[in-house]
Structure 1
Amino acid sequence: MSDCLHVGTKKGLFTLRRNSAADKWTITRRDFLGEPVSMLFHDTRDGSLYCALNHGHFGVKLHRQEQGEETWTEIAAPQFPEQTPAEKQQEEEKEGRPNSWSLSQIWALESGGEDQPGVLWAGTIPGGLFRSPDRGESWQLLRSLWDRPERLQWFGGGYDDPGIHSVCVDPRDSAHVTVGVSCGGVWATRDGGETWALCADGMRAEYMPPELAGAGNVQDPHRLVNCPADPDTFWVQHHNGIFRTTDDCQSWQELDRVQPSGFGFAVAVHPQNPDTAWFVPAVKDECRIPVAGKMVVTRTDDGGQSFIIMSDGLPATDAYDLVYRHALDIDATGRNLVMGSTTGSLWVSSDAGESWQTVSQHLPPVHVTRFAG
């Protein structure tokens, strides 16, 4: 089990380490106290840690910590190019309002392939995808996706503007990248971002008029992940249920009769077994709390044909915790999970979710959790 994990919250970054003899986790470091952390990323290629901060009115900042170092270095944050008058008019005509093309949040950070040292990907709000060739020292907006006419039909889910929250790089081919957009569906490139294809066939958006429910460009995938050992298998926790594909996003199948709910935000997939995935169900739309006030995690081991409901160690009554998109993480063994909630609770499991240990009940609201390695 990884003995180190990072927890990004509304009021700072917390690093925890595990005493293996006592099987106890302890906060050992606190960084950026009082600052909202929107995203974390641990780059296993060189051991560096990246932390994105959302300062609201004062802008977005990005920091990097080198492996073995104590200090952080501020690096460049993605920036949108200046909008031309023609682009502003086009978006205003489509959206009914001008789009400022101004970065409000870094919502995804991922590395390029093993054959791309230094390459990073960033997904943002509004829905831009950025690439860095030099470990975040500089960033370039992929205009090939940004300039797609379909982007003008994207819209916000939980935020006013649409955003890219999931980036999956194929470990077999670094030029093959798939992203999830809320609300804009699933998009993929096979040539490093030169061209893009919409890949949401089979998804369903019940919040749209019936004739548009199946349109790929209006889908709201809350989180998109794929299995490292079988990259053609993807899982999506969608606003309207759980979806799975085994043919590299060519067609999606909705899972039926998911209990206690098919709604949620987070999903984790086993790193070696594409049929095993974890979810944190909730009541959707205006409510957004655990079903019947009972905190549970569900797991499927057979590709979604059946689900196990697991609650050992989790609050059974009067629980109002919601687990955000990036607040559930799994380590490389596939046995150890961590999740944090909107009420500041933090839990870990060392037996694939069968039982959970409470690490804290009074952190700030948790935005993202990451095992270190």
Structure 2
Amino acid sequence: MTERAWIASRKGLFELQQQNGRWSLGPIAFLGEPVSMVLADPRDGAVYAALNLGHFGVKLHRKDAGAAQWTEIAAPAYPLKPEDCTDPVDWTVRFIWSLACGGADEPGVIWAGTLPGGLFRSADRGASWTLMHSLWDAPERSEWFGGGYDVPGIHSICVDPRDSRHVLVGISCGGAWVTHDGGASWSLSARGMRASYLPPERGDDQNVQDPHRIVGARDTPDQLWCQHHNGIWRSANFGADWQEVSAAPLSNFGFAVAVHPADGDTAWFAPALADQTRIPTDAALTVTRTTDGGRTFTALRAGLPQQHCYDLVYRHGLAVADDGRTLLMASTTGGVWLSENGGDSWRTISSSMPPVYAVCFQ
């Protein structure tokens, strides 16, 4: 049974607890500090929190199962840039944008995606990190550019539960990349995506796509969903190729997507108006859901604000629990909503949170 969730915000990490069938806000960790990402590891019960402390840099903490306190652990860091290197990118971790667990057969393995576009792997629960030079040194990286930020970043990491060496990452703006050998080598995996923001002759270029978020289904891992800058795409073969979904109502723009863990045909989205506006359509917050692989969608509004609503849901601001029914959504303007019936109706947890970067269930 789902009993806990985490809300990573501009002013700390909030714990959401379920007791006697009712959800309520619990303790706050890192009060006043920006928590950019949170990860709950189902393999050992640990929780990881990434902090972005500006002048003091990026920090990473872990709370072990049953522990009362958080422990600071190593944060991903780039090596010193060689003096003769012509790369214009600053080799400094500016932000931990994604965290993901390795496979069930890889206890202690954690992946981290950062700005400016680096992918790191830890084999010891964050005590040390290794930069995936095979991806960082790819010649194609010179063409990547910023999406939500002024530098490219890795926001999505999908580990194949059938094969821990099979990993796909999503990059804004650098397309999708896949490894079949645990990171020793990488190849582009965004065939079928289209970038309408580029000249037509470059629209199909895999290396300059802007997938806002890529997630997969736990029990049907070949099925991946992508909320792209200008559409929704779906893959039935773990990203080998992608097909555009054209039936989405309201808007095909947005950042967040969540997928039912046991049913890859069911997914939820939080559409918004592009591109400069970035608010819900008609200033009314709506979640859209498909249960048939994107052929049809239902607009879900019950319990969500329908007037004067300017909430934007970030990439990691929408999550579904293992039961496939409980959803948590939070926004840039401090709204937090919970659904226990697959999105059919929502109840407000808070309307006065700090801006929320990420949510997850444990």
Q: What TM-score does the superposition give when structure 2 sets the normalisation length?
A: 0.99
* Alpha-carbon distance, 1:158 to partner: 1.2
Q: Distance in 2 between matches of 1:230 and 1:34?
A: 39
Q: 1:3 Cα deviation (Å)?
A: 1.9
Gaps of 5+ in 2: none
- What's 2:339 paired with? 349
| Alpha-carbon offset, residue 8 of structure 1 | 0.5
User: Do 2:337 and 2:348's aligned partners in 1 also have CA atoms closer than 8 Å?
Assistant: yes
1:65-117 deviation digits (Å, cap 9, x = unpaired): 11111101100000001111232x2x2xxxxxx22210000011111111111
Aligned to 1:99: 89
Query: Is the 2:247–2:294 Cα contact (8 Å) retained in structure 1?
Result: no
Corresponding residue for 2:360?
370
1:89-128 → structure 2 map (5 Å cutoff):
89=86, 91=87, 98-128=88-118
Deviation readout 1:307-359 (Å, 9 max, x if unpaired): 00000000111100000000101111101100001110100000000000101
Q: For 1:105-254, list aligned pairs within 5 A.
A: 105-254=95-244
For residues 259 and 368 of structure 1, the distance between their equivalents in structure 2, rounded to whole angstroms, comes to 24
1:242-281 aligned at under 5 Å gives the runs 242-281=232-271
* Paired AA for residue 308 in structure 1: T
Indicate conservation of the 8 Å contact 2:195/2:204, yes or no: yes
Q: In the alignment, what sits opposite 2:18?
A: 18
Match of 1:81 in 2: 79
Aligned position for 1:50? 48
| In 2, Cα distance between equivalents of 1:109 and 1:172 | 19
- CA shift, 1:19, in A, is 2.8
Aligned residue for 1:9?
9
Q: Secondary structure at the match of 1:151?
A: helix
Give the aligned length. 362
Report how far residue 284 of structure 1 moved. Answer: 1.2
Aligned equivalents of 1:41, 1:317: Cα separation in 2: 33
Per-residue CA distance 1:218-270 (angstroms, 9 max, x = gap): 00000000111111111000001100010221211111142111110000001
Equivalence for 1:94: none
Shift of 1:162: 0.2
SS in 2 for 1:123: strand
Q: Secondary structure at the match of 1:266?
A: strand
Q: CA separation in 1, counterparts of 2:172 and 2:126?
A: 24
Equivalence for 1:358: 348
2:325 paired residue among 314, 332, 335:
335
In structure 2, how many angstroms separate the alpha carbons of the residues matched to 1:86 and 1:200?
Answer: 32
Where in structure 1 are there 5+ consecutive unaligned residues? 92-97
Structure 1 CA distance, aligned partners of 2:346 and 2:90? 44
Taking the aligned partners of 2:261 and 2:20, their CA distance within structure 1 comes to: 23
The aligned amino acid for 1:3 is E
Shift of 1:57: 2.0
Asked if the contact 2:74/2:128 (under 8 Å) is kept, the reply is: yes
Q: Which amino acid aligns with 2:332?
A: T
Distance 1:100 1:123 in 2: 16
The amino acid across from 1:86 in the alignment is: D
Q: CA deviation at 1:28?
A: 1.5
Q: Is the 8 Å Cα contact of residues 77 and 92 (structure 2) preserved in structure 1?
A: yes
In the alignment, is the contact (CA less than 8 A) between 2:45 and 2:65 conserved in 1?
Answer: yes
SS in structure 2 opposite 1:280? strand
SS in 1 for 2:84: helix
- Partner letter of residue 169 of structure 1? V
Q: Which residue of 1 aligns with 2:312?
A: 322
Report deviation, 1:2.
1.1
Question: How big is each residue's C-alpha offset from its partner over 1:27-67, in whole Å with a ceiling of 9 and x where there is no partner?
Answer: 22011111000000011111011000001121000000111
RMSD: 0.9
